Copies of this chain bind each other. A is one copy, B any other.
Amino acid sequence: MRENPMDLHGAFHVYDTTLRDGAQQEGLNLSVTDKLAIARQLDGLGVGYIEGGWPGANPKDTEFFRRAAAELDLKHAKLAAFGATRRAGVKAADDPLVAALRDSGASVVTLVAKSHDRHVDLALRTTLEENLEMIRDTVSHLTAEGQTVFLDAEHFFDGYRANRDYALEVLRTAYGAGAEVIALCDTNGGMLPGWVADVVHDVRENAQVRVGIHCHNDTGCAVANTLAAVDAGATHVQGTINGYGERTGNADLVAVVANLELKLGREVLPQGLLGEATRIAHAVAEVTNFPPASRQPYVGASAFTHKAGLHASAIKVDPDLYQHMDPAGVGNDMRLLVSDMAGRASIELKGRELGFDLSGDRELVTRITDRVKVLESRGYTFEAADASFELLLVEEVEGARPAYFEVESWRVITETRPGDDATSEATVKLRADGVRYVVTGEGNGPVNALDQALRHAIERAYPEVAKFELIDYKVRILDQGHGTDAITRVLIETTDGEASWVTVGVGANVIEASWGALVDGVTFGLRRHEAATGGA
């Protein structure tokens, strides 16, 4: 039963194409298992449709639909198979690619069709009339077989400019043949919101179809273009998690949905699920192996981060004066940076964030604030290095720094010979749990070698370090104008497979700075482990 296309209060579709269009992103490569994992996350977000790929055209996608039928237990989403209208000159019923869609097990098929006359000519190499017939035939065939059909009108906006009548005729044809939604695709991504609004208005007036929207971010307006289409009457939005997609990416589905729900008051996801968005966006990033963008709207690690300094006291009184919404709405958190304007108020706030209530002890706060100021003047930054800051807090609150081992000395040698790559070898001497260890580690760089040596030296005392892995390493020269003869700041991110934390080291010597950050990284991880396992 098709809904009335002019009824804006009918069901609203949130349609995710991460697994198909998102996977077109340069460098993104998803296995079938990856795709299944992402589909589960998308279902957890409550999207209505998950476009899984193009069965028949791509063996991996055929396999995905096969395994999805057996392995996925979706609560909210329906799976959609993507594919093209039949080839010119064959019947839809006889086209093997159409058959693959029909037999995919997906209850929804999204058919891509040309709506730009030049593309019909140049890419399909057929006539405009035959293209309409291909659409009519394929849509009718699949709906007759019991599937719901959505149509992606490819290059629609460019086609509309080139030949409005034909572009509209494509929509009418598909809709007339039984397609439920016609998604207008800004395939090349060049549109701006005002233009999208005008075209959608015209389409609704003159083609009378249920309109969907599919945008790319080439002008930096994918989210706004999507909203403009919805405002003009579209009731089906397509996008991808984290805005993945070819070129500049697709519309970021989380930003679109958050704007619709939290800014425009339209409920488009099952209640409460938008609060999972941050977790899910990051979980999907883990699968794609693209680091999450910290500046990403709504779900980025920096999205609700403030350099407290000047405004810390006002933020304490009324945080809503300094944020556009409550970050909990998307499952994110307000975060305060300890910046070089560190005042007492921001230290207190930061402490609270890390679970230390400092408000009762003025003297302690003063001591910490002073120490942070001194360290920052020497080149430390705690803005990005929460873990080092937490170790400092612990030291001040508990009177001593957590010490799991005692370093005696270390040395690292990097050398090269003609024709050979450079190699690094580090030796670390330390005591852990009363035993002295002298351990040598090799690496493809001096810090890598030190990291190996340090972790091997303490792994008898603390076997959990075997799980630790250094996943990011950043070097910054602070005092420019002196080149290598300057203060170096190193930030290191370490993970134990569950969480990751950032530590900082500073020194005139880049290796020494790295060593400081390494030791903090391991110490923080050991303390975390100790807390999780209820103490050593």
Contact = CB atoms under 8 A, between A and B. Distances in A.
Given A263-B219, A295-B249, A297-B218, A483 B469 contact: yes
B484 A480 contact: no
A313 B261 CA distance: 43
A411 B415 contact: yes
B248 A422 contact: no
A24 B295 contact: no
Contacts of A511: 414, 422, 424, 445-446
A387 B492 CA distance: 30
A39 interface: no
A366 interface: no
Q: How many copies does the complex hold?
A: 2
Contacts of A227: 192-193, 221
Contact of A231 (B194, B411, B416, B424): B194
A444 interface: yes
Contacts of A32: 480
A34 B480 contact: yes
A325 interface: yes
Contact of A417 (B223, B409, B479): B409
Nearest to A412: B414
A228 B407 CA distance: 60
Interface string A179-215: 0000000001110111000000000000000000000
Nearest to A60: B340
A336 to B, nearest CB: 11
Nearest to A514: B484
Interface residues of A, number: 126
A528 interface: no
A447 B411 contact: no
Interface string A399-428: 000000001111111111110011110000
Interface in A437-460: 443-448, 451
A263 B220 CA distance: 12
Nearest to A406: B418
Contacts of A446: 414, 446, 509-511
Nearest to A310: B123
A436 interface: no
A255 interface: yes
A94 interface: no
Interface string A466-506: 00011111111111111111101000111000000000000
Given A259-B220, A300-B248, A480 B291 contact: yes
Interface in A304-363: 304-307, 311, 314, 317-318, 321-325, 337
Which A-B residue pairs are the 10 nearest by beta carbons? A190-B324, A224-B224, A470-B483, A411-B415, A422-B512, A448-B484, A220-B255, A220-B223, A475-B475, A220-B297
13 contacts: A24-B307, A27-B294, A29-B476, A122-B314, A192-B224, A192-B264, A221-B223, A247-B303, A247-B304, A414-B512, A421-B508, A445-B512, A472-B477
